[in-house]
Amino acid sequence: MTELYLKYNPYIVETEMKIDGELVAPPNRLADWKNERLQIWIEDLMPVVEEICNDDEYVIDFYGTALDYNDLEVCVDEYCKKHDDIKVNLRFTESAGTQDRMKELIELFDDMQKNCPFEDLTTEQVRENFNSAVGSEFEVSVIATMSSGKSTLINAFLGKELMPSKNEACTATIAKIKDIDGMDHFTGEYRDKDNHLLGSYEDLTLENMNEMNNNPETAFIDIKGDISNIDSKGVKLVLVDTPGPNNSRTEEHKNHTYRVIKEKTKPMVLYVLNATQLQTNDDKELLTAVSDAMRVGGKQSKDRFLFAVNKVDLFDPDKESVEGAINNVKNYLDKFGIKNPNIFPTSAELAKVIRMKKNDQPLTSAQKRTLRDYDFFIEEDQLHLSEQATLSSANKRKIEEMLTKARNSGDGEDEALIHTGIPAVELAIDEYLKKYAYTAKVKTAVDTFKKKVEEKDMHAKMLKAIHNDEQARCNINAQLKVVSQQLADGKSAAQFSRKIEKLDMTHEAEKQIKKLRAKVSAALMREDTKDVLTTLEVQQILMRLDKKVRDIQSDVKTELENIIEDVIVENAKLIMEEYKEQVHLLITSGDLETQEFEAGKGICFLEKEVPNAQEIIDKYKFNEQYDTGQKEWVKNTAKKWYKPWTWFQESGWYLTVYADREMVKYSDVYDDFVQPVIKNFNENLERAKKTAQEEAERFKGFFINELNVLNTALERKVKETEVLTRDQDIINRKLEEEKIKVKWLETFMQRLDRILEI
């Protein structure tokens, strides 16, 4: 029996692993995951462990949070179901520690700003970075096609009829609802596409929302209020009501939808499906993009997509079961490569009406009739929707507790509300916020100042270590002189600059653009049909093709944005790693033997001066906005039946009906339609390739200039430390002067470690 010990800290994203008591270290594959988020590798854990250990029985002892253990439990269970010859016994020890880390972190940072003896830890830049990290928002985007009940579902979350739901076409803008705990009303303001304020409402109503939506100038609506049914403690939740891809008022709105799906920071996406109207063409391109996004980034990429299957209560239970409807959805999503989706059957309308009543909101006659039938959800077992949702074991227990409480209190409306499935969706969102958004936010906030504090700590430890060690002081001083001379010569910097100039930063971009070109070609292939068709038949085929082209344009545009960004981000990381290696070689070069600082002898603490890649990227700004969503292929010619690209111009929305059933050779029309489309896509792809190359070259120039700044800073630090270590008297005076500083630093580091420990 093999024993595997796992200790995972989600706040510092660090894993400690032991196999049979021995610490896992490189080159073991498990060691590669040490600083990776658990959800990135957890699905690969058992295959790799079995490959390494080649055993048929394991004990896995996990120390960490309950949320992370639940992921381990699910993955191990799924693996064992597929490999019945493997037995795994799981043991769990829940980590201790503060429950409100963000509050303690803010208090600690405030204390640092007031009492810190180091001036460079209290700069405006440090404060801005920390406040930005703490104030960051987490978006949950609600996406759907027409008539799915998306607005009704959002209103169910709010407990108030605020989003227009009588006609999905009303929601043609991007509306953001920011959760402000304690507010007893909602406020709203609306802006045009250039972000100019058009107006605002202090006590927002449905009528106000209709007014804003009906204004053709409105592009964005910002709402503030209390989303009381989702616990977003420590995270600033923002619900985003996104227009459907065929209902966007602008091309940018459609691009926004695809951008959310592909976003690398992994915002949450709630995809609303109409249980009574699956198999619509409107979903096809969007779900293909969702499928692609779910395949990259491990379990978190799957967790962030929730599929709310709305209107399941509209089926006749005597003819079709909810279970059958859910299976239909699974089969439908499977066609797009979406495996094991997180499905949540819902009845948003009943949930909305129950909450409206509880919030003393006026009800229409139709809503009162809906409310009168709430007991149907209690009596009909298959309408116990929350119990059929894809929930973690912890959330299933919470649903059971909620039901027990409602039944014990005799509150039938509360019990029916739980059965609508909306509380299950809210629990899943809450769990994602706690598991991913909150831990990431804590880590980002800590990172804004931790490295600078560590630099001070290592410097103080170096002084203390050589205080009574004359030989160590002389060694460090001599080595610093060598480094100082090498920096002054500038040979190392010049050599590295030449290395940067030779970097091929666009190889990966070219590979990705090639894949996109193939994707476009595959999407625009001719339909398999007979060649000679009626005019109406050709028109219908080309209308479908026209829709596909418009969807692909947004898909390709957002993909190109990611590719161009990756050229900078990925290569910035590469360059920074190269530079860190250069600094390491510089510091550890020469005849003197250096040791890691932990031994109290080396000067490797100077390497902490090197910024990370993101610090460099944050300084770098793009000069231009690259847009590939052009419509150059639409020709402005006189309307003719055999030129379908003219059908959709302002005066051409009506299809011509021919009484004599004229026939058309489809291949000719298809070629005439598709060739300019493909030509335009290829031109844009080439433009993107050129833009990626230009941005890469511009970043090289930018970084070479930054290199001079970095080298100057390192040279200054080396000289300061060299002077400090010249003789024992200087060290004695410095230690005496910094006694208070060192004491503060030791206490601060201990407090910081306590916040991040588990």
Print the SS3 string covering 738-758: CHHHHHHHHHHHHHHHHHHCC
Question: pLDDT value at position 36?
Answer: 87
The one-letter code for the residue type at 24 is V
Q: Can you give the residue range of the structural domain that contains 233? A: 137-434
Write down the pTM of the prediction.
0.77
As beta bridge partners, residue 57 has 87
Question: pLDDT value at position 599?
Answer: 38
Do 83 and 104 sit in the same domain of this protein?
Answer: no
How many whole angstroms separate alpha carbon 171 and alpha carbon 150?
10
Question: pLDDT value at position 634?
Answer: 38
- In this structure, is residue 394 part of a structural domain? yes
Reported confidence tier of residue 361, pLDDT bands at 50, 70, 90 = very high
Question: pLDDT value at position 656?
Answer: 43
Please state, as a whole number, how many other Cβ atoms lie within 10 Å of the Cβ of residue 518: 9
Look at 274 and 632; give whichever has higher pLDDT.
Answer: 274
CA distances from 305 to 262, 266, 274, 450, 619 (A): 11, 9, 16, 33, 33
As beta bridge partners, residue 7 has 16, 63
Please state, as a whole number, how many other Cβ atoms lie within 10 Å of the Cβ of residue 245: 25
CA distances from 494 to 34, 74, 488, 707, 711 (A): 35, 53, 12, 10, 11
Least confident of 271-275, 348-352, 378-382, 478-482: 478-482
The answer, yes or no, to whether residue 304 has pLDDT greater than 80, is yes
The answer, yes or no, to whether residue 669 has pLDDT greater than 80, is no
Q: pLDDT per residue over 491-518, tens digit each? A: 767 777 777 777 776 777 777 778 878 8
Across the range 99-113, mean pLDDT stands at 88
Cβ–Cβ under 8 Å, residues 475 and 601: yes
Across the range 58-78, mean pLDDT stands at 93
Do 645 and 743 sit in the same domain of this protein?
Answer: no
Question: pLDDT value at position 745?
Answer: 86
Do 47 and 174 sit in the same domain of this protein?
Answer: no
- In this structure, is residue 441 part of a structural domain? no
Q: pLDDT per residue over 182-238, tens digit each? A: 898 999 999 988 889 999 999 999 999 999 988 888 888 999 999 988 876 778 899
Domain boundary among 381, 402, 434: 434
- In this structure, is residue 443 part of a structural domain? no
Question: pLDDT value at position 464?
Answer: 75
Question: pLDDT value at position 252?
Answer: 65
Burial bucket for residue 494 (CB in 10 Å: 0-12, 13-18, 19+): exposed
Q: pLDDT per residue over 16-33, tens digit each? A: 999 999 999 888 889 989
Question: pLDDT value at position 245?
Answer: 64
Least confident of 127-136, 357-366, 732-741: 732-741
Question: pLDDT value at position 593?
Answer: 44
Do 108 and 77 sit in the same domain of this protein?
Answer: no
The answer, yes or no, to whether residue 646 has pLDDT greater than 70, is no
Q: pLDDT per residue over 423-472, tens digit each? A: 999 999 999 998 888 888 888 888 888 878 887 887 777 777 777 777 77
The answer, yes or no, to whether residue 375 has pLDDT greater than 60, is yes
The answer, yes or no, to whether residue 86 has pLDDT greater than 90, is yes
> What mean pLDDT value characterizes the chain?
80
Reported confidence tier of residue 600, pLDDT bands at 50, 70, 90 = very low
The answer, yes or no, to whether residue 691 has pLDDT greater than 80, is no
Do 116 and 221 sit in the same domain of this protein?
Answer: no
Q: What is the 3-state secondary structure (H, E, C) of 427-471?
A: HHHHHHHHHHHHHHHHHHHHHHHHHHHHHHHHHHHHHHHHCCCHH
How many whole angstroms separate alpha carbon 2 and alpha carbon 22?
11
Burial bucket for residue 360 (CB in 10 Å: 0-12, 13-18, 19+): exposed
- In this structure, is residue 440 part of a structural domain? no
Do 54 and 125 sit in the same domain of this protein?
Answer: no
The answer, yes or no, to whether residue 607 has pLDDT greater than 90, is no
The answer, yes or no, to whether residue 601 has pLDDT greater than 50, is no
499: Cα separation from own chain's centroid: 34
Question: pLDDT value at position 110?
Answer: 93
Question: pLDDT value at position 98?
Answer: 63
- In this structure, is residue 506 part of a structural domain? yes
The answer, yes or no, to whether residue 640 has pLDDT greater than 70, is no
Number of structural domains in the chain: 4
Do 125 and 143 sit in the same domain of this protein?
Answer: no
- Where does 124-280 have alpha helices with state H? 124-134, 150-158, 206-214, 251-262
Do 417 and 538 sit in the same domain of this protein?
Answer: no
- In this structure, is residue 445 part of a structural domain? no
Look at 479 and 143; give whichever has higher pLDDT.
Answer: 143
To the nearest 10°, report the CA torsion of 3, 7, 10, 13: -90
Do 106 and 35 sit in the same domain of this protein?
Answer: no
Q: What's the half-sphere exposure (Cβ side, CA atoms, 13 Å) at 329?
A: 28
Phi/psi at 305 (nearest 5 deg)?
A: -105, 115
The answer, yes or no, to whether residue 14 has pLDDT greater than 80, is yes
Domain boundary among 43, 74, 94: 94
Look at 678 and 379; give whichever has higher pLDDT.
Answer: 379
Do 336 and 361 sit in the same domain of this protein?
Answer: yes
Output the domain CATH number for residue 266.
3.40.50.300
Least confident of 151-160, 226-235, 409-418, 679-688: 679-688
Do 706 and 746 sit in the same domain of this protein?
Answer: no
- In this structure, is residue 230 part of a structural domain? yes
Cβ–Cβ under 8 Å, residues 346 and 153: yes
Do 142 and 130 sit in the same domain of this protein?
Answer: no
Across the range 266-275, mean pLDDT stands at 89
- In this structure, is residue 653 part of a structural domain? yes
3-state secondary structure of 274: strand
Q: pLDDT per residue over 158-187, tens digit each? A: 999 999 875 544 456 789 999 998 898 999
Across the range 370-393, mean pLDDT stands at 91
Q: What is the CA radius of gyration of the chain?
A: 30
